[in-house]
Structure 1
Amino acid sequence: MSSSFPARQVRHPREPGPAHGVSRRGILRSGLAGAGALAAAGSLAGCASPARASGASELSVWDLFQGGDGMLMDEMIDAVSAGPDGFDVERTILDWGPSYYTKLAMSAAGGRASDVAVLHLSRLAGYAPGGLLDPFDLNLLAEFGVSEKDFTPAVWSRTQHAGTVYAIPLDVHPFIVFYDREAADKAGLLDPAGELAPMGSPQALLDAGKALAEATGGSGILFGHVTDTAQNWRQFAALYAQTGASFTLPDGGPPDIDVDAAVRVVDFMKQLFDGKTNPNNLDYNGAMANFIGGRGGMVMLGEWELPTLKKSGIPLGAAPFPQVFDRPAVYTDSHSFVLPHQKDPDPARRREAHRYVAQIIKQSLTWAGAGHIPAYQPVLAEPGYTALHPQSSYADAGEVAVLDPPNWFVGAGSNFQNRMCQPLQAALLGNTSAEKAVRQMIREADALLRQPNPVA
């Protein structure tokens, strides 16, 4: 088949003893023809299936981790590959984005997928109902030391479809706030332990922005959203969940959204980013640059930006997204492991896939180095995690995690997030009212609900 996007394979051979062989690294280019790929899944899937090893402990794994995350995943795989009980892993790294999810769907539809793959938990509703994933055997996982009690209820509840578990979370990666500790201290925003004090109300966050602006001589709170396909949605979803209102997307529509609560949230977003104390017209990179350059005291970002911000030399603090409405809630997603559907899975290999997932999530202290919160709760209790700063300061975000409302078209990298962001951007830029923005969001959600699920 012709190639339309790259993949990279990294071999992690099992280590029989202390001697460690150098991993063989190669480049594989494979792909699929972009538009209409899902519809062609049945006929094309055979072309996309990875090479299969004969031994039960030899596993093929697909993920989308590149850069620093990719190196950490290599480190974790090397750790579980050591010793006589280690795994022989063929890791295929694919580009993050719609292409990854299309190829995953194609390979699973043909029943010739990898043994294990990574899936954003927010995308589960687009895969499990259509038979693209196989369920986990919870008894097998328990045998390898992993069970429901090891995860927060907020995250575990999203691993299931129709009462069956299809995903095991590796992490929680929330939308949080980073702040300059010196500026926050000067603004009187730190508690006695030196951490960001709770806000508790919309006015408190507005006041915090003014105090930070005075402390920095620049802006208070920074937020990059212009032309971004997710940022506005992340902030809206967090604040909306804090109101206690529900946002559901029942098949066929219409969407179930509390208009009054949504308008209240958008009005507050407009008030917070007024273009004066807190700028309203920054793009993602602009917000990052202003914060790194000391031109703002706080920035709203995903925790995955931690490695970049730590390199800046700023006296960096971090905290869960502030609670300003009735209940704590933090918008998150989760990198999770899934078992892509296979027509005739080998029982020994499938058992090894369960053991592999259990062993990898136990290595997630390494994963936390990039800012991600380990989903496997025993890791959070380790002294090594407590010593991580500022990571341990926002670990509680996993307790109040809020993901996208489940449906086949939602989740990380989805058009749903983009279509929610556009009316929100217009509101923040002052081009429309909060009520008109919310009505447009409802129309966009309703239009998506009326589209047929391509894998149903």
Structure 2
Amino acid sequence: MALHHLAPRRTPAGAALPAGPGLTRRQMLIGSLATVGGVAAASALAGCAPTASASGLHQLAYWHLLSGGDGINMAGLVDQVNALDHGYEATQTVLAWGAPYYTKLAMASVGGRSPDVAIMHASRVAGYAPGGLLDPWDLDLLAELGVQESDFLDRVWAKGGLDGQQYSIALDSHPFIMMYNLDVAEQAGVLGPDGQLAPITSPDQFLEVARAMQAVTGKHGLSYGYLGDGAQMWRLFYTFYKQHDADFDLSGLTATVDDDAAVSSLEFIQQLLDGTICTPNGDYGTAVSEFMSGESGMFFTGVWELPTAKNSGLAFDAQPIPTLFGTPAAYADSHAFTLPHQSSPDPEQRRASYRFVADLLQNSLGWAEAGHIPGFQPVVQSAEYQALVPQAHYAPAAEILNYDPEAWFTGSGSDFQNYFLETVQGVYLDGADPAEGFASFVRRVNVQLAKPNPV
């Protein structure tokens, strides 16, 4: 890998931009600690590409953690924008989801082998940007390429900001939603005159609808799998918790929470897991199979399950999880584009990276067809997107989304949701006291808050 000693970056208008900061002692320490942990192999990954190939195209290294159907769809999207002939050719490196990906991304940033562009969950940015592992976006250059703040929902854009800088640009939002079986709903008499599920506005009404659907299926009214899965547990809990208009603040030395809202949310989940409305001890795979085979009427899941539902041949629709506790709210995260830190980024290589991201955003209808809600609102507002069903029916969930409470140890693929699993699964599975379970979770979170951010 050639090392380039470059002058400060310049925008096309000629305004000087400061080069990225050099490697700091803190970053060196992170690299040393990660190596001790056995992840030094990250430095062997090809993250540093030449500024241009013999063909004149800028060769861009693009890392992400999207596998399965998402990975296939992303590969197609990358092929699509590469074919636009906008002066770049992006090559994907797909790494294992979760901790392995985020560790290797940090190692690449501190080891001088970072990719040009990388996907992160927006909920993880707060843990990475303060340590200098990400470079901020030049919003003027993005605007020149047709991407600006006004193109995003306020909550989605704000999640990428920190200390007046923008460190991530959302490709999408992927909220927790509710799918429902149209045939079961019709037989249960719970469809409205528009052919969609009639509005549900209270916990008791939801229980009534679920029981009516169970009477049709003969098995369950609702599919929801959580066993051994802290993410699934947290997604539903946090949706109901935020519907109480409750705060979950991790900015201090101890967590600031609403115990009453937490207990109310957990007690309602216990009501759902009664063996009739929903199985009390199912995992996620079981819930998917049950709903797709027509053995339940509703399904709490993420938008990423849309391709599975479509491939099942089921007649279904989807919507945001009903507002049962007064405040519209949904748990969500976003896949977001970041610029892993480079000490001396080549200006033209960076510009090609910006062009690549702008093209992905502006051509993200294909990503929407797979289920995710595009972050770039001109796509959501297009006639093509509005014709997508059920996507257009659950798109309002992006307007009420709630990311994980902000701390260095929270976010998708972190241990935060595992703490919830360890301390609260007994509340779900065994009917343990919700107040005691939640208090145990808060104590576990406070242990983490007492520790410094290692990044």
Q: Structure 2 length as normaliser, TM-score?
A: 0.88
Q: In structure 2, what is the Cα distance between the partners aligned to 1:262 and 1:139?
A: 43
Q: What residue is the counterpart of 2:115 in the other structure?
A: 114
Q: Number of aligned pairs? A: 421
Deviation at 1:448, TM superposition (A): 1.6
Contact 2:223-2:299 at 8 Å conserved across structures: yes
Deviation at 1:121, TM superposition (A): 0.5
Q: In structure 2, what is the Cα distance between the partners aligned to 1:440 and 1:138?
A: 43
Match of 1:299, SS state, is: strand
Deviation at 1:38, TM superposition (A): 6.7
Q: What residue is the counterpart of 2:194 in the other structure?
A: 193
Q: In structure 1, what is the Cα distance between the partners aligned to 2:389 and 2:119?
A: 27
Q: Deviations for 1:319-359, whole angstroms, at most 9, x for unmatched residues?
A: 11111011101111100000000011111111221121111
Q: Deviations for 1:159-202, whole angstroms, at most 9, x for unmatched residues?
A: 11112100000011111111110111222322222122321111
Deviation at 1:42, TM superposition (A): 12
Q: In structure 2, what is the Cα distance between the partners aligned to 1:42 and 1:297?
A: 45
- 2:61 pairs with 1:94: no
Deviation at 1:43, TM superposition (A): 8.2
Q: In structure 2, what is the Cα distance between the partners aligned to 1:43 and 1:311?
A: 40
- Give me the CA root mean square deviation: 2.0
Q: What residue is the counterpart of 1:4 in the other structure?
A: none
Aligned residue identity for 1:403 = Y
Instruction: Give the one of 17, 34, 38 matched to 1:37.
Output: 34
Relative to structure 1, is the Cα distance of residues 45 and 181 closer, same or farther in structure 2, using a 3 angstrom cutoff? closer
Q: Deviations for 1:246-284, whole angstroms, at most 9, x for unmatched residues?
A: 001125x21111111111111111112222332211111
Aligned residue identity for 2:34 = A
Q: In structure 2, what is the Cα distance between the partners aligned to 1:452 and 1:249?
A: 13
Relative to structure 1, is the Cα distance of residues 308 and 419 closer, same or farther in structure 2, using a 3 angstrom cutoff? same
Contact 1:41-1:107 at 8 Å conserved across structures: no
Q: Deviations for 1:402-427, whole angstroms, at most 9, x for unmatched residues?
A: 11011111111111101112333211
- 2:177 pairs with 1:206: no
Aligned residue identity for 1:325 = F
Q: What residue is the counterpart of 1:245 in the other structure?
A: 246
Match of 1:417, SS state, is: helix
Q: Deviations for 1:92-137, whole angstroms, at most 9, x for unmatched residues?
A: 1112121000000111122430110000001111111111000001
Match of 1:247, SS state, is: coil
Q: What residue is the counterpart of 1:63 in the other structure?
A: 64
Aligned residue identity for 1:279 = T
Contact 2:211-2:276 at 8 Å conserved across structures: no
Residue correspondence of structure 1 range 15-414 to structure 2 within 5 A: 36-37=33-34, 46-55=43-52, 57-251=58-252, 253-414=253-414
Contact 2:39-2:104 at 8 Å conserved across structures: no
Relative to structure 1, is the Cα distance of residues 83 and 425 closer, same or farther in structure 2, using a 3 angstrom cutoff? closer
- 2:447 pairs with 1:450: no
Gap runs ≥5 in structure 1: 1-33
Relative to structure 1, is the Cα distance of residues 35 and 193 closer, same or farther in structure 2, using a 3 angstrom cutoff? farther
Relative to structure 1, is the Cα distance of residues 147 and 431 closer, same or farther in structure 2, using a 3 angstrom cutoff? same
Deviates more, 1:301-310 or 1:55-64: 55-64
Aligned residue identity for 1:245 = A
Deviation at 1:213, TM superposition (A): 0.7
Relative to structure 1, is the Cα distance of residues 346 and 208 closer, same or farther in structure 2, using a 3 angstrom cutoff? same
Match of 1:343, SS state, is: coil
Q: Deviations for 1:357-377, whole angstroms, at most 9, x for unmatched residues?
A: 111111110101211111100
Relative to structure 1, is the Cα distance of residues 324 and 39 closer, same or farther in structure 2, using a 3 angstrom cutoff? farther
Match of 2:129, SS state, is: coil
Q: In structure 2, what is the Cα distance between the partners aligned to 1:404 and 1:219?
A: 30
Aligned residue identity for 2:363 = Q
Contact 2:222-2:298 at 8 Å conserved across structures: yes
Relative to structure 1, is the Cα distance of residues 40 and 340 closer, same or farther in structure 2, using a 3 angstrom cutoff? farther
Match of 1:257, SS state, is: coil
Q: In structure 1, what is the Cα distance between the partners aligned to 2:349 and 2:236?
A: 42
